Amino acid sequence: MSRRWFVTGGTPGNFGMAFAEAALEAGDLVVLTSRRPQEFATWAQQYGDRVLVVPLDVTDTAQVAEAVRAAEERFGGIDVLVNNAGRGWFGSIEGMDEPAVRSMFELNFFAVLSVTRAVLPGMRARGTGWIVNVSSVAGLVSAVGFGYYSATKFAIEAVTDALRDEVAAQGISVLTVEPGAFRTNAYAGFADEPVSEPISEYHDMLKQVQATFVQMGGAQPGDPRRGARAVIAAMGHDSPPRRLVLGNGGYDAVVDTLEQSLADIRKNETLSRSADFPERSSAG
């Protein structure tokens, strides 16, 4: 039977579109949500009644409920939720504007919870389903100048790990996906934005961060379509992974960071174990 997908964050040239097209290639049905659904009118026509494009700002809980209701009415349920909507921006930990930080958490973290909680009742009722949370390599490897973006993705990692264990008994599988540098439009606007940093000591650092992303634009090694297909392949494994890092550079960075962290923890094992109350002697 065809699976019914609900994909957030539909934007031409980004991962949302890649997930939608990979699912359609597999013979499935897709609900693609977007803040600008008119951009997908021509694209959707070629798939007929296999595709439903729904307007959705994932930070609006009323719109989330309406979009999920529309998907369930059209296809009878949601089998695969892909929480793809999100955005990153750069700034120093000390100087980044607090409303901007909170806005990033609203989109990258709290909106993911909102959509997930709206979809879960239907999955629980059917006793089956998949939740795919798109995190980032930055959710496992914090990046200079992207500390708050990394924080939103680290939070996704933690919530997803807990959710996976909570819903397993309900027949629901959960996968975290961590893309590295992929050729999408995610950072297309970086070149046109001035560095907004009130603390001069960080300005040069952030200019370099901006320049790196601008230079990388259009030359990232990751192919979103191949990445989406890799996710579908992982979902089909007899023992699916808990997380899937996408891309050579991302894989190497994650493995190197985790090995360094493990080595550092082990190096201080004596100090770590010294923090407990002494064990009571069994003698006497």
Q: What is the pLDDT of residues 36-45, one digit of tens each?
A: 999 999 999 9
pLDDT at 191 over 90: no
Q: Domain spans of the chain?
A: 4-247
Give the catalytic positions in this structure: 135, 149, 153
pLDDT at 161: 98
Q: What is the DSSP letter of 222?
A: B
**Residues in CB range of 224: below 8 A, 6 or more apart:** 13, 14, 15, 17, 18, 182, 183, 184
Task: Provide the angle, in degrees to the nearest 10, between the axes of the packed helices 111-126 and 61-75.
Answer: 30
Q: Which amino acid is at 120?
A: L
Query: Is residue 2 very low, low, confident or very high in pLDDT (cuts 50, 70, 90)?
Result: very high
- Cβ-in-10-Å burial (0-12, 13-18, 19+) of 113 comes to middle
What percent of the chain has a predicted confidence (pLDDT) above 90?
A: 80
pLDDT at 13: 78
pLDDT at 275 over 60: yes
Q: Is 54 helix (H, G, I), strand (E, B) or coil?
A: strand
pLDDT for 88-119, tens place per residue?
A: 888 999 999 999 999 999 999 999 999 999 99
Distance CA 114, CA 166 (A): 17
Query: What is the tally of helices (H) and strands (E) in the chain?
Result: 10, 7
pLDDT at 252 over 60: yes
Q: What count of residues does the chain have?
A: 284
Lowest mean pLDDT among 13-17, 23-27, 41-45, 258-262: 13-17
CA distances 180 to 211, 221, 222, 247, Å, are: 18, 9, 7, 6
Residue with tokens 């601008």: 214
pLDDT at 49 over 60: yes
Contact 173, 132 (CB under 8 A): no
Distance CA 188, CA 13 (A): 11
pLDDT at 268 over 70: yes
Contact 83, 131 (CB under 8 A): yes
What percent of the chain has a predicted confidence (pLDDT) above 70?
A: 95
pLDDT at 152: 98
* Average model confidence (pLDDT) across the chain: 93
Q: Which long-range contacts (CB under 8 A, 24 or more apart) does 234-242 make?
A: 234/175, 235/80, 235/130, 235/132, 235/173, 235/175, 240/173, 240/175, 241/175, 242/161, 242/164, 242/174, 242/175, 242/176
Structure tokens at 210: 């901006």
182, β-bridge pairs: 222
Characterize the bridge pairing of strands 29-34 and 51-55: parallel
pLDDT at 284: 53
pLDDT at 183: 79
CATH code for the part of the protein at 4-247: 3.40.50.720
pLDDT at 265 over 70: yes
Q: What is the pTM of this model?
A: 0.93
Characterize the bridge pairing of strands 80-83 and 51-55: unpaired
